[in-house]
Amino acid sequence: MSGSLVQHHLLFAACVILATFTQSLTGFAFGLVLLGLVAAFHLAPLPVAANVVTVMVLANAALLVRRLPALPRRLLLPSFGSSLAGVALGACLLAWLSDHAIGAARIALGIAILACSVLLVIQTRTRTQLSSPGAFAFFGAVSGVMGGVFASAGPPMVFHLYRQPLDRLVVRDTLVLLFAVNAVLRLLIVLAQGRFDAASLMLSLEALPLVLLVTWLVRRYPPDWPPAAMRGAVFALLLAAGASLLLPVTHEPAVTSPSPIQPR
């Protein structure tokens, strides 16, 4: 393995560690941070990075999912149903963009990261009543599309659920299960499309032990940071990652061309 290739793998590992640490602080930003950093440094094509995120979401859910969330059933079905439909649409959209307009996918990712960085710092009041099933269906669909395209379904549904008059444990269980169901469907779709390649498998195997180790360390030794400081740090990271994808001087390499850390 050449020195340059080793450096790229080490940089990928650093991106995974930073994304996992961010996820531990916010509960949802792993996919966006990892995708943004991998795309900014041109470490792997966007579809490959999204596949890695999908596998990591499933691994995380396997550790956390223990029961059905206590969300009212009249809200559970529209949330999950619309989200699954959105995943199918998003995965097919990413396949088309990968073949015809990968630059547009890069721009969309940058915009999504910037929008989510703003959501992170917006101060919202908790509602006095639960939103309607239609509102849950809408946010579920938006999350699903993001999950299908970027394997990062979190921000819209996180923003919506944390405004509801619900116990935080119910919110957590709902989000974890929603992300897990989305990830299963997305993985099945990319496997059926033949888009889960050797690079996706190799990078997933590299990322998995790092994700598990960093998650355990942060839970065992949580950083003693004020909430405002944590939000500010994550906001700055997301802002930098999103802006780097929108700079006109950067260009996404063709998906068919091997990235520096893809098997050749």
pLDDT in 10s for each residue of the chain, 264 residues: 567 888 888 999 999 999 888 877 766 678 888 888 888 888 998 889 999 999 988 887 777 676 777 788 888 899 999 999 999 999 999 888 888 777 887 788 888 888 877 877 776 678 889 999 999 999 999 999 988 988 887 778 888 888 889 887 788 788 888 888 999 999 999 999 999 999 999 999 999 999 989 988 988 888 887 767 777 887 888 888 888 778 754 444 444 444 556 655
**How far apart (Å, rounded) are the C-alpha atoms in residues 159 and 156?**
5
Please give the pLDDT value at position 223. Answer: 82
Please name the residues in contact with 27: beta carbons below 8 A apart, sequence gap of 6 or more: 154, 158, 172, 175
Please give the pLDDT value at position 263. Answer: 56
213 vs 13, 118, 172, 174, 218, CA distance in Å? 12, 29, 21, 24, 9
> What's the confidence (pLDDT) of residue 262?
60
Rounded to two decimals, what is the model's pTM? 0.82
The C-alpha angle 249, 36, 168, rounded to 5 degrees, equals 150
Q: What amino acid occupies position 89? A: L
